[in-house]
Amino acid sequence: MKIGTRGSPLALAQAYETRDRLVAAFDLPETAFEIVIITTTGDRVIDRPLKEIGGKGLFTREIEDALLTGDIDLAVHSMKDMPVLQPEGLIIDCYLPREDVRDAFICPTGRNLSEMAPGTKVGSSSLRRRAQVLVAHPQLEVVEFRGNVQTRLRKLDEGVAACTFLAMAGLNRLKRTEVITRALEPEEMLPAVAQGAIGIERRRDDSGAAMMLEAIHHGPTGQRLAAERAFLAALDGSCETPIAGLAELQGGTLRLRGEILRPDGSERLCDDRSAPVEDGAELGRAMAVDLLAQAGPDFFDWRG
Ligand SMILES: NCc1[nH]cc(CCC(=O)O)c1CC(=O)O
């Protein structure tokens, strides 16, 4: 079986984790799987802000094309980067156990944001993190900070910014936890929808792949993502809108926290409610509808 993935060290770590779980579940040799690296537009165009290149699926289109043509059989994705709808003929119904959902604050001087002088540069290319920082610390300046985890850490060393944020999940998977200054609890920085979750995509009609993936699917992660992604879908969320969302299981109950922000950080609207697990998708949808009603039509407008 061919497992497709982007070529970044984090993407590769996620592909190897997927392969290892399949190898263990079916007692197969590693050679039963081939890891196929696919370069996406998002990987190729590294000199422009993501929001300028635009469009959904910047990091996924070429991988999904390879699935559809049969060049690969499985595709491993960070669910945080996945559009809510998959192309006709493809499906994601397998999730690995979710990693730490929190964001890490990374600051070589060890200073907190509230201790930083006005105008201090915070590096982030995430609209969500940018807006969340500016809501709480309007005196700071958020500067574009693209590249994979290694590149961003190098930019910090070079002084491009005083601090940055990275997902704990990525740092854990890359075994780079020594760079973490502090893990931020959801109360402080609500993570992106699906942060820390890996999903595996396949052709809808590939029953062999379906059978393999069923054996490694983590149900609770699937239930949490159903609520979070329904929330995102109902907001028509793309990577151009500052949205945060986190669902957690408490017994048979799903607690969903959601947040939308104006891109300039001048306003934040949030919600926190619970429902039985089986109603997760409806919980996400209803929260989105209510937040949108509060926000009004120009909420996500850059000119605000
Ligand atoms: N947008 C890039 C991206 N996609 C997934 C992760 C981290 C791993 C994850 O959240 O699963 C990252 C980097 C980051 O935000 O630090």
Residue 135 belongs to domain with CATH number: 3.40.190.10
- Taking CA atoms only, the protein residue closest to ligand 1 atom 9 is 196
CA of 158 to the centre of ligand 1 (A): 22
Query: Are residues 213 and 226 both part of a single domain?
Result: no
35-86 residue pLDDT tens: 999 999 888 877 776 666 666 678 889 999 999 999 999 999 999 989 899 9
- Give the pLDDT score at 271: 98
Structural domain includes residue 191: no
Please indicate, yes or no, if residue 108 is contained in any of the structural domains. Answer: yes
Query: Cβ(62) to ligand 1 under 6 A?
Result: no
| 27 Cα–ligand 1 center, Å | 30
- Whether residue 230 is contained in a domain is answered as yes
Is residue 192 in a domain? no
Please give the backbone phi and psi of residue 269, each rounded to the nearest 5 degrees, phi first: -120, 130
pLDDT score, position 56: 66
Tell me the per-residue pLDDT of 246-281, one tens digit each, with 9 for 90 and over.
Answer: 999 999 999 999 999 998 999 999 999 999 999 999
Tell me if residue 281 falls in helix, strand or coil. helix
Tell me if 124 CB under 6 Å of ligand 1: no
**With a 6 A CB cut-off, is 199 part of the ligand 1 pocket?**
no
Mean pLDDT score, 167-196: 96
Asked, for residue 189, whether it belongs to a domain, the answer is: no
CB 235, CB 292: distance < 8 Å: yes
How many domains, in total, are found in the chain? Answer: 3
Q: Are residues 91 and 112 in the same domain?
A: no
- Full domain range(s) for residue 277: 219-304
87 and 4 fall within a common domain: yes
* Residues 89 and 206 placed together within one structural domain of the fold: yes
CATH of the domain at 277: 3.30.160.40
Task: Note the pLDDT of residue 237.
Answer: 66
Mean pLDDT score, 11-20? 98
Residues 234 and 213 in one domain: no
**In whole angstroms, what is the distance from residue 258 CA to residue 294 CA?**
13
Annotation says 279 is catalytic: no
CB of 170 within 6 A of ligand 1: the answer is yes
**Does residue 223's CB lie within 6 angstroms of at least one atom of ligand 1?**
no
How far is ligand 1, taken at its centre, from the CA of residue 71, in Å? 26
On whether both 79 and 160 belong to a single domain, the answer is no
- Cα–Cα distance, 82 to 94 (Å, whole number): 14
> Ligand 1 in contact with 123 (CB < 6 A)?
no
Q: Which of 81, 100, 103, 206 is catalytic?
A: 81
Q: Which of 78, 175, 224 to mutate to test the pocket of ligand 1 (most atoms within 8 A of CB)?
A: 78
Residue 51 CA to ligand 1 centre (angstroms): 16
Q: Can you read off the two tokens belonging to residue 111?
A: 């200073």
Average of per-residue pLDDT values in the chain: 93
- Note whether 39 and 159 are same-domain residues: no
User: In this structure, are 229 and 264 located in the same domain?
Assistant: yes
- Among 14, 195, 229, 246, name the best residue to mutate to test ligand 1's pocket (greatest count of ligand atoms within 8 A of Cβ): 195
Q: Answer whether residue 303 shows pLDDT above 50.
A: no
Looking at the structure, tell me whether residues 223 and 267 fall in a common domain. Answer: yes
Q: Is residue 21 part of a domain?
A: yes
- 232 pocket-lining for ligand 1 (C-beta < 6 Å): no
Quote the pTM value: 0.93
Please write down the HEC assignment for all residues of 106-170: ECCCCCCHHHCCCCCEEECCCHHHHHHHHHHCCCCEEECCCCCHHHHHHHHHCCCCCEEEEEHHH
Same domain, 235 and 166: no
Pairing of strands 182-184, 268-276: unpaired
Residues 131 and 203 in one domain: no
Residue 282, domain member (yes or no): yes
Torsion of CA 277, 86, 92, 237, to 10 degrees: -40
Task: Look at strands 163-167 and 121-123 and give their pairing.
Answer: parallel
